[in-house]
Amino acid sequence: MWVLSMLSALAGNKTIMAIFAALVGGIGLFVAGGISRAKKDTARRAAEKLAAAQERLEMDREATDAERAARDLPDEAARREAMRWARH
């Protein structure tokens, strides 16, 4: 019973309620900041994956261009071209 009277006295005290509201607000901002950091990290990782995929695609295009060019070469020239690409 005395707990309820203490709680009602604290709820009626504007200073204590303002401090409590500030604490709850601070905790809310902290949690929101953590969520924001997680979203930024996820976006950064997605951008890195996209850049890697684009780089692989460009390398595949270059290899395909070299293969097309090598088809038109005589055997010895094609071997030299293949050796040049193998060194990369």
Tens of pLDDT, residues 59-73: 888 877 777 766 776
Expressed in angstroms, the distance from the first to the final Cα of the chain is 82
Residue 35: band (very low, low, confident or very high) from pLDDT cuts 50, 70, 90: confident
Once rounded to an integer, what is the mean pLDDT over residues 5-9?
A: 69
Q: What is the pTM of this model?
A: 0.45
Residue 4: band (very low, low, confident or very high) from pLDDT cuts 50, 70, 90: low
Tens of pLDDT, residue by residue over 38-87, are 888 899 999 999 999 999 888 888 877 777 766 776 777 777 877 887 77
